[in-house]
Structure 1
Amino acid sequence: MRRSVEMQGARSSAVQLFLLLSCMCAATAGYPFRTPVDLDVTPRVTVLNSGLRGCKRFQASAVNYSTMLLEADSERLYVGARGAVFALDASDISAIPALTIEWEASPEQKRQCMVKGKDDKTECFNHIRFLQRFNSTHLYMCGTHAFSPLCAYIDEKRFVMSSQPEEGREKCPYGPTTGYTALIIDQQIYTASQYEFRSFPDIRRNSPSPTLKTEDAPTRWLNEADFVGSALVRESLGSSSSGDDDKIYFFFTEKSQEQTTTYSHSRVARVARVCKGDRGGHLTLQKRWTSFLKTRLTCSLPEYDFHFNMLRSVFVLHGPTPEDTLFYGIFGLEWKNVKASAVCRFSLSEVQEAFQGPYMENDDSGSKWKEYTGKIPDPRPGTCITDALRSRGINVSTSLPDDVLDFVRRHPLMSQSVQPSDRRPLLFRRTTDYTHMAVHMMQGLDGQTYHVLYMGTDDGWLHKAVDIKGQLHIIEELQLFEEPQPVDNLLISAKQMSVYVGSPSGVLQLPLSNCRRYVSCYDCIFARDPHCAWDGAQCVDTMTHTDRSSLIQDIQRGSAGCENTQDDVVQRSRSVRVGDDVLLQCELSSNLATPLWTLDSIEVQGYDLNSGFRTGTDGLLIIEARQDQSGLYTCHAVENNIKVAVITYNVSIRLDLPPPPPVDPTRDPYRHLATLPAPTERSSSERPLPPALAPLLPRSELLTPRNMEAMYLSLITILGGLCVVLTVVLVYVGFCLRVGQRGKYSLRAAAAAYPSSKRPSKNRKQHRNSSHMELKTISSHCNGNGICNGVSKLHNGSMHDGGFLQIVPGEGHTSPNKEPPPPAPPLPPTPQHPSPECDFPNGLSATLPSVLRRMNGNSYVLLQQSDSENTSPLCYSFAEELNRILEKRKHTLLLPRPDESSV
């Protein structure tokens, strides 16, 4: 009774452990956040690589096509790769030959790079990181050049390097993956990166003079910054009533400095700005920016406790005026092992408002920053030179007072963060890591301007989405490559109506839209693509139509406009024998649509177990068809609350159909599965079936509906079996833990409890075999294959004479026969104990299992003693002792699952 209670307690503990593990697994699956249903958008259409239309590719011997420059006027696409620069035809990048400049690092330079400890497979090459137009005749490029950066000019007309490369250490990073952004503005080069291996990140204006950079002391302006982008916003005399200056905005992620209880992340997203006309200070901040300010970009969902603090990419969308400029950013989580992305949009006006707000200060006692509440000098630190300052005689930054410049040096961080325009992300994707983005403005038929976003992923997909009332609708997802690889760059050409994708393996050119993919009116309307509209016969691209009066489009709701159109519905006929199962297939092209089946205009209830129907994503299954189930079956796609017929089946369930041909059970590997006759299909234009049916076409018996259902059930059974096995294992582990703690059934515990003074002084080496279980004798007085004097006797639960038995678990040999082994034959009568000197009170029953254990269900455990040369004359051999025990149990059956306490 006590043992039964203990086992029940062990099982209870194991069940509790199983429930705890289940809860932990569920919590881990949801970690670190719950999914907001309204933002985790599903792409409507999925297009695999084999289904891409109008795709053009360029690939050369180089790799890492990550730097691109599009020249709309010259219709050229310049691409920088590893060791080469290409000039491609923007209208067709696959057109050959492509203009090429080879620029590889020399063998000596590669050798020096390897001496520095860099990777000779990736880093010790010349990766082109910078490629932009310098003036009307030349381009400018920079490369890592095997960790010794160089820059050079390119003659655009001849497409050759027009001069010898120059030093690029102050303009280009050393490594191919270091965060970096650069701009050429009026022949001045602005760059931001961590240039040298041990240097601090820096924002610089390199040429022409005067060169400027950020400050390092006493206050470091940038803290482990990783730059992702930059942009120029023209706010100069021509467009500003206050005579403001143009500004360059830099976007990056850096180590957090704020002292706040709201956010606990170690890194945050930032936007910083400098004035184009900045010339540095006179005495204070010489060769340093006097207009540098930075603030935080917030992309979060506080109600879900989501804080996306890692900025991955940014796209600047210029409006008709500078105040209309928008910044689109791709954000991620700080946890590297969690895939998630969010897209947030910021307005320039709110960024400017943050730069006009309170400052942060760093107290001398620590490294954390808090809001500054003291007096602010005049003129306001960090502002550009405006008409108001010019009227006071301050025409350049070198004329600013020292107290203003000293305040700028110590207060580069603003207290007010920039919130998204809609106060929440436009999009959230839990299982996607977006890498780059490009935005295209398109006017819809309703007169509104829509922003169409193209977003590349880290595994080679391109998502096209449209911003509708502050939320993104993903129109389609395109698989760009057969093998997963990241999207490294994205550019859009409205003139060529193309999007260009840079990747490690090559460059792709795709049309901005592919409206011919939608074959019906509702399919075209449901897409909600600003580029596409229905003209009454097909889905067309609105950019190619000058007369839009007859086109149909509904981007806001995606439901109106097709009420008076008649779409062709696929019609088929089926003849089914009574009692057979039949699957009516219905493929939906939209991931957002749900199937709805009707029989003679009455909805089919496919979830009732007694209805005779089963509905799924692949179609409708009629189970053991009856004659009253004959009729017209219609599959509808329900999307945006609109029901659209996709396919109809005229099903005739008859008694006079011939039975299916017999199947040879000896040749059918799936003979345990039910087979179904192949249904006969007819189009709607065919006449009724004649009395004599034509022979059925041969088809695979493995794909019949009944076989498919059986395979589904088998898969579910296997998964359920795995769960049961896991539960049994946990129960067994819990029981073993309970037993091990009490020490009642453990030979090792008994040996450990044996006094050290009575233990043998010399133990024989133990041998293990992974394919069997050994019963080993450990004794200092006996060797060989017998049970000897040194083997201890158990009297009243105690051990004596210095020896003990050890059972080493192993795996039984697997039998090639899949059938279970036959039961053991009866054993001969058991003799009495011949020698009490070597016998336990009950033979070996105190230590051996009560039955032989079956391992893996098809073989028995082999009990074997340690090898030795001598056998004690006072004892039986081990084989004799084992036979004697088995003879005692000649009437005992071998059980497939013995008592767990026997080990």
Structure 2
Amino acid sequence: MWEGLGSLLLCLLMVSSAPGPPPRRPARELDATPRTTIPYEELSEARHFGGRAHNYSTLLLEEASGRLLVGARGALFSLNAQDIGDGTHREIRWEASPETQSECVRKGRNNQTECFNHVRFLQRLNATHLYACGTHAFQPLCAAIDSEAFTLPRSFEEGKEKCPYDPARGYTGLIIDGGLYTATRYEFRSIPDIRRSRHPRSLRTEESPLHWLNDAEFVFSVLIRESEASTVGDDDKVYYFFTERATEEGSGFSQSRGHRVARVARVCKGDLGGKKILQKKWTSFLKARLACHVPLYETLRSVCSLDGGAWAHTRFYAAFSLAAQWRTLEASAICRYDLSDIQASFSGPYMEYLDGTRRWGRYDGAVPEPRPGSCITDGLRRRGYNSSQDLPSPVLDFVKLHPLMARGVGPARGRPLLLKRNARYTRLVGTPVTVPAGPTYDVLFLGTVDGWIHKAVVLGLGMHIIEEAQAFLEPQPVESLVISAAQHSLYVGAPGGVVQMPLSRCSRYSSCYDCILARDPYCGWDPRGRGCREAAVAPNRTALIQDMERGNRGCEGGADTGPHLPPRNRSVLRGDDVLLPCDQPSNLARASWLLNGSRVLMDGRDGYRVGVDGLLVMDTRPEQSGHYSCYAEENGLRTLLASYGLTVQPILSAPALAPGPPPPSHGAHLSPDVRLLYVLIIAALGGLCLVLASMLLYVVCLRGSGRRRTYSLARGTGRAGGSAVQLQTVSGQCPGDEDEGEEGTDRAGGPEGGGLLIIPGEGTPAPPPPPPAAPRAELSNGVGALPSRLRRMNGNSYVLLQQSENRAPTLPCSFTEELSRILEKRKHTQLVERLDESSV
């Protein structure tokens, strides 16, 4: 216990002492709930592709040809980017031979996951060919593929310097001007490295006297064309993002040895290595710590870069998983980094490795000239340094021993954009979107470990999650994401296949309020056509209504703010319980109920319970009759969702008996003959009743021995093969049964809500019951809309009427207790002022 307490105090100390921004906002203010939830069944616009292969983890989009290229396990595919599921795809089978697989097994590798050819690299090599690399059962191979013929070549290239052996290792690669820049763990001994191959000057990182990379796992790489419009003749640079084990000392790091931290590194594209020192090694390699929220307790998962119109405005978004050491907590963080901050870190002080402590510490000594790790510029060329091979030995020696920078890179504006609890992001991709009013907003798509996609927009210091969509029916990690502006699509790669989803679904928003509350840069409300339109294709973009910053302005003054809902009638008997359904379309909305337009109904008061399913009126009274309105309150706006007219009818008393003849007086006497006649008549009637009862019992027993009947509750029409007898009752709820219709109309022939259907197990089908007469009002309490099969008996008790030949009768179930428990649970989890998570 003391050890765990000490670790917690130590972590708090590190967080408080870590260098960086001013105090952060509370985590609850950064946590965001997706506004809407779209389950798999509602993704009608999605397209799916899945062949005979597995692990569709490598995607390459070619907008010019309209093709989506996919690298999977043992195969490559060329799909129609407009509709990946149209069946016009082309396929290349690229399997490892049985001999190669057997050798992989002999080396101790898993023949179920590792001893296959996992395609890990797929990019355009030149105008006519693609370049692909695969693990090939721990014997990597690469191939130049004719993109037109889409067939494998007759010969392959050795891939051990270009591709990882292990398909589970982190890997990133780029083809730049014909050269291959890759970063992964190469060779069978799995040593991390950043290499350049297929180039006249092959380069790699240094291994002695110390490793530049310490157990690194690579995540992302990108080329920044910093030579464009450069006034100093600077070189283009390749940036790498990865995690590795840290051995720094100093503020926030003194007790951190062995923890994994995020890094950003860079190399110059024009680097040729050293002449005598650092031969065939990078002379421009520098790396810096990348911090997001909780240093040393965050793992970098994915990075994307967005072009700001010029290379100097490039920005990066990174997804981290937090607190892997705290087994009880799962959370993710999203941080933004500006290129200028990264450049400032590489221009700052260096760290040096201290042999005495075997850790890195800040270097305060002299720094040689030219500055170690710099690219060759026009100023250096004027001084006679035309390439890295002209750099003096002291500079190269310094680079060899000081690759780590002392100043870390913190998130933009000193804080994360998002802290998401109970979610682990595996991939993210982003794109800038310019709205009709002029500003540009960054839209991010984040894939989770269980196959969901979160669509979010960056607003100021935080993020607003517009929606969450279930891309895959079976939970599986999202392994790749690609955006197509031309196809207005997002492509999602996962172990089970590829999914194509639209970037926006503006038609889902039915009112002006709903459209602007979404705060989707792709969507705007058209006041003329009275619909939520795609801003990119709207005829008059400037007339569209949007409010990205606040999300609640623009629908005043005659705009179509919501549907006009006529009231639905409900009629119940006094003392019954009635549920008025009201589904909230937004996870951020709170239900608000008004009685007769003015009285606000509070949860738990005066017999009312307010939940996410609707309003439960318990033990109804005549004074509760009236007009009930359900509103959704969100971001200062109120929208009408449902309207009901409730009538509570009194229970009719039994009619008084009509006065009959007076009873005979005690003084009246019957004659003996009359009394004898009465006795004979009574005896005859009793004997007749006895005979009839015996005959009836015989018939019932005879028919009961021939077949057994099944008694069950049903919500629809009678089943084929049996007749239906309906017992009209008032419906209730008990967990585990089917939903009933919202309106409570019985589809088996009755005008009311649920009913008990007595269905024979065998026999000739009975004719269908006659259609019911039109009811005057909906005589339903609405509780039938809940998943239940309870019926109210004798006023206050609830009995489950369900019986079959295969199980014992169900015990009585309390409707009030069960429904109160469900509504109470859901109220506390979803109807709080600060929602934590959406209900999925």
Hey, what does 2:407 align to over in structure 1? 416
Larger Rg, first or second structure (1 or 2): 1
> Aligned-pair distance for 1:668?
9.2
Aligned partners of 2:323 and 2:331 also within 8 Å: no
- Name the amino acid aligned to 2:309: P
Hey, what does 1:335 align to over in structure 2? 324
Classify the secondary structure of the residue corresponding to 1:201: strand
Q: Does 1:268 align with 2:261?
A: yes
Hey, what does 1:133 align to over in structure 2? 124
Task: Mark the CA change 1:668 to 1:272 in structure 2 (over 3 Å): closer, same or farther.
Answer: closer
Aligned partners of 1:575 and 1:681 also within 8 Å: no
- Name the amino acid aligned to 2:307: H
Hey, what does 2:236 align to over in structure 1? 246
> Aligned-pair distance for 1:454?
0.3
Q: Does 1:175 align with 2:170?
A: no
Q: Does 1:557 align with 2:557?
A: no
Distance 1:484 1:433 in 2: 13
Task: Mark the CA change 1:486 to 1:410 in structure 2 (over 3 Å): closer, same or farther.
Answer: same
Q: Which has the higher contact order (CA 8 A, sep 6+)?
A: 2
Equivalent residues in 2 for 1:269-288 (5 A)?
269-288=262-281
Aligned partners of 1:573 and 1:680 also within 8 Å: no
Q: Does 1:453 align with 2:444?
A: yes
> Aligned-pair distance for 1:163?
4.1
Q: Does 1:362 align with 2:353?
A: yes
Of 48, 63, 72, the match for 1:57: 48
- Name the amino acid aligned to 1:551: L
Aligned partners of 1:456 and 1:462 also within 8 Å: yes
Aligned partners of 1:299 and 1:344 also within 8 Å: yes
> Aligned-pair distance for 1:718?
12
Classify the secondary structure of the residue corresponding to 2:814: helix
Hey, what does 1:406 align to over in structure 2? 397
Hey, what does 1:153 align to over in structure 2? 144
Aligned partners of 2:730 and 2:780 also within 8 Å: no
- Name the amino acid aligned to 2:152: M
Q: Does 1:313 align with 2:302?
A: yes
Q: Does 1:545 align with 2:541?
A: no
Identity of aligned residues (%): 49
- Name the amino acid aligned to 1:648: S
Hey, what does 2:649 align to over in structure 1? 654
Q: Provide the aligned C-alpha RMSD in A.
A: 3.2
Task: Mark the CA change 1:217 to 1:461 in structure 2 (over 3 Å): closer, same or farther.
Answer: same
Q: Does 1:630 align with 2:604?
A: no
Classify the secondary structure of the residue corresponding to 1:543: coil
Task: Mark the CA change 1:548 to 1:308 in structure 2 (over 3 Å): closer, same or farther.
Answer: farther
Classify the secondary structure of the residue corresponding to 1:549: helix
How big is each residue's C-alpha offset from its partner over 1:853-872, in whole Å with a ceiling of 9 and x where there is no partner? Answer: xxxxxxxxxxxxxxxxxxxx
TM-score of the two chains, using structure 1 as the length reference: 0.71
Aligned residues: 673
Classify the secondary structure of the residue corresponding to 2:356: coil
Hey, what does 1:532 align to over in structure 2? 523
Aligned partners of 1:574 and 1:680 also within 8 Å: no
Equivalent residues in 2 for 1:3-14 (5 A)?
none
Q: Does 1:185 align with 2:161?
A: no
Aligned partners of 2:272 and 2:387 also within 8 Å: yes
Classify the secondary structure of the residue corresponding to 1:328: strand
Equivalent residues in 2 for 1:743-758 (5 A)?
none
> Aligned-pair distance for 1:422?
2.3
> Aligned-pair distance for 1:207?
1.9
Hey, what does 2:730 align to over in structure 1? 676
Aligned partners of 1:450 and 1:530 also within 8 Å: yes
Task: Mark the CA change 1:657 to 1:405 in structure 2 (over 3 Å): closer, same or farther.
Answer: farther
Classify the secondary structure of the residue corresponding to 2:446: strand
Aligned partners of 2:336 and 2:412 also within 8 Å: yes
Hey, what does 1:117 align to over in structure 2? 108
> Aligned-pair distance for 1:650?
1.2
Could you list the runs of 4 or more consecutive aligned residues of structure 1 that deviate by over 4 angstroms after TM superposition?
Answer: 32-35, 656-659, 666-669, 677-682, 690-701, 703-709, 714-720
> Aligned-pair distance for 1:445?
2.7
Q: Does 1:639 align with 2:634?
A: yes
Equivalent residues in 2 for 1:434-513 (5 A)?
434-513=425-504
> Aligned-pair distance for 1:310?
1.0
Q: Does 1:380 align with 2:343?
A: no
Hey, what does 2:596 align to over in structure 1? 600
Hey, what does 1:813 align to over in structure 2? none
Distance 1:249 1:120 in 2: 35
Unaligned stretches of 5+ residues in structure 2: 16-24, 655-709, 714-727, 733-741, 746-772, 801-812, 825-840
Aligned partners of 1:307 and 1:333 also within 8 Å: no
Hey, what does 2:83 align to over in structure 1? 92
How big is each residue's C-alpha offset from its partner over 1:204-257, in whole Å with a ceiling of 9 and x where there is no partner? Answer: 111222111100111210000000110000011x32111000000011000002
Classify the secondary structure of the residue corresponding to 2:287: strand
Classify the secondary structure of the residue corresponding to 2:817: helix
Hey, what does 2:835 align to over in structure 1? none
Of 565, 572, 576, the match for 2:568: 572
Distance 1:697 1:214 in 2: 75
- Name the amino acid aligned to 1:47: I
Distance 2:209 2:472 in 1: 50
Identify the range of structure 1 (431-440 vs 569-578) with the bigger mean alpha-carbon deviation.
569-578
- Name the amino acid aligned to 1:600: N
- Name the amino acid aligned to 2:241: F
Distance 1:583 1:132 in 2: 58
Distance 2:815 2:635 in 1: 34
Hey, what does 2:73 align to over in structure 1? 82
Task: Mark the CA change 1:425 to 1:656 in structure 2 (over 3 Å): closer, same or farther.
Answer: same
Of 257, 280, 297, the match for 2:247: 257
> Aligned-pair distance for 1:657?
7.6
> Aligned-pair distance for 1:522?
0.9
Aligned partners of 2:261 and 2:296 also within 8 Å: no
Aligned partners of 1:569 and 1:646 also within 8 Å: no
Q: Does 1:348 align with 2:339?
A: yes
How big is each residue's C-alpha offset from its partner over 1:352-381, in whole Å with a ceiling of 9 and x where there is no partner? Answer: 000000000012213211110000000000
Aligned partners of 1:155 and 1:161 also within 8 Å: yes
- Name the amino acid aligned to 1:650: G
> Aligned-pair distance for 1:341?
0.7
Distance 1:126 1:381 in 2: 41
> Aligned-pair distance for 1:675?
6.9
Classify the secondary structure of the residue corresponding to 2:340: helix
Equivalent residues in 2 for 1:776-855 (5 A)?
none
Distance 1:496 1:328 in 2: 23
> Aligned-pair distance for 1:410?
0.3
Aligned partners of 1:153 and 1:163 also within 8 Å: no
Hey, what does 1:788 align to over in structure 2? none
Identify the range of structure 1 (358-367 vs 482-491) with the bigger mean alpha-carbon deviation.
358-367
- Name the amino acid aligned to 2:580: L
Classify the secondary structure of the residue corresponding to 1:525: helix
Distance 1:293 1:591 in 2: 45
Task: Mark the CA change 1:719 to 1:79 in structure 2 (over 3 Å): closer, same or farther.
Answer: closer
TM-score of the two chains, using structure 2 as the length reference: 0.76
Classify the secondary structure of the residue corresponding to 2:136: coil
> Aligned-pair distance for 1:92?
1.0
Aligned partners of 2:162 and 2:182 also within 8 Å: yes
How big is each residue's C-alpha offset from its partner over 1:332-356, in whole Å with a ceiling of 9 and x where there is no partner? Answer: 1251644211011100010000000
- Name the amino acid aligned to 1:713: E
> Aligned-pair distance for 1:430?
1.4
